Amino acid sequence: MQTVSEALEKLGKSKFRSGFHLSEKDKEYVKEKGLETVRAHAEDIIRKRLAPAVIPNDGRQTPMKGHPVFIAQHACACCCRGCLEKWYKVPQGRALTENQQNKIVNLLMKWIENETEE
């Protein structure tokens, strides 16, 4: 299993994935709400939108704007089960374990932290 740093390095080599960045509005949101609150949002979003074994609108469930976590999901290839399978070999059709969900949230939060430090 790759580390968060290894995953971010690999994602950085993808022209598509590396093209995502937080807007100033998103950065302000993170600053205003704080990383702890944004992490709670990420946990909730992943649990509800990505973790179920069957997602009726898989591939379309993650908006391209509206919350920093959504942008992070696209940047980190954690936006749908197809991307999770392609990038991280997480099989579709099975619910994500709590451990898998935590790893995804950790990756998203590190990406968000990196974006807000720049």
Ordered mean pLDDT values, 10 residues apiece, the chain (118 residues): 90 96 97 97 97 89 94 97 95 96 98 92
Task: Give the pLDDT score at 47.
Answer: 97
Q: Rounded to whole angstroms, how far apart are CA atoms 25 and 115?
A: 12
Considering the entire predicted model, what is its pTM? 0.94
- Please, are residues 69 and 108 in contact by the beta-carbon 8 Å criterion? yes
Domain count, the chain: 1
Task: Give the pLDDT score at 56.
Answer: 85
Residue 54 structural domain: 4-117
- Please, are residues 105 and 113 in contact by the beta-carbon 8 Å criterion? no
CA-nearest of 15, 8, 17, 26 to 106 is: 8
